[in-house]
Amino acid sequence: MDHGPNITTGKDYAPEYKSRLGLRLFLVYSILYAGFIIINAFIPRLMAFILFAGLNLAVVYGFGLIITAIVLGLIYNHLCTKKEQQMQAAESAGGQKP
């Protein structure tokens, strides 16, 4: 039944912090995505509205969702890495506990 552990190297720091942060960012993105779906499904003609440089809301919102996903991903990684390093540093500074 048990196949032994999956090979894992390195300690996983700050899981609770990362979970909380992940859920918050997920909520932000979900709201943006839901707004996009609602406009597409129920007020599709609003998507033809020209926002800037001749680009309409459909294109700007669509590209925006893709770029936002990338930006949120990078922010998440940055904050998680920072926290992991802090905790790692704190642990090594905390000394060699038995």
Partner 1 sequence: MIYSISPLAIGLFMAIVVAVLAISVYFARKSSSSTNYFAAGGTIPWQVNGIAFAGDYLSAASFLGICGMIAFSGYDGFLYSIGYLAGWIVALFVIAEPIKRLGKYTFADALDAIFKFPGIRLMAGISTLVVSIFYLIPQMVGAGSLVVPLLGLPHWIGVIGVGSIVIFIVATAGMKSTTYVQFIKGSLLIVFSLILTFAILNKGLSTKPSAEYHQFESLEATISGDLISGLPAGYSATDTHATATGLFVRTEKAGTIRWWKASSDNGPVTLAETLTITTRADGSILYNGAPREEQAFYQVGHLDRIVVDGQDVDSTGRLNPISYLSILNQSRVMLFSEVKFSAGGEQVRLWYQNPVEGSRILRPGMKFKVDEGSSLVSKLNFVSLMLALFLGTAALPHVLIRYYTVPSAKDARKSTILAIIAIGFFYILTLFIGLGAMTSGVIDLTDSNMAAPLLARNFGILLFAIISAIAFATVLGTVSGLIMASAGAVAHDLVDGIFKKHKLTDRQRVIIAKVAAIATGIVAILLGIIFKGVNVSFLVGLAFAIAASANFPAIVMILFWKKTTAHGVVASILVGMLLSVGIIMLSPTMAPYFGVAAGDALIPLDNPGIVSIPVSFLTLIIVSLLTKKKVVANT
Residues at the interface with partner 1 (CB under 8 A): 1, 3-10, 12, 15, 18-19, 22-23, 25-26, 29, 33, 36-37, 40-42, 44-45, 47-48, 50, 53-56, 58-59, 62-63, 65-67, 69-70, 72-74, 76-77, 80-81, 84
Nearest of 42, 43, 65, 45 to residue 56 by alpha carbon: 45
Cβ 95 to partner 1 shortest distance, Å: 24
The length of the chain is 98
CB-nearer residue toward partner 1: 22 or 90: 22
State the nearest-atom distance from the C-beta of 94 to partner 1, in Å: 20
**Alpha helices, H only, 1-98:** 15-42, 57-93
Q: What is the DSSP secondary-structure string of 75-86?
A: HHHHHHHHHHHH
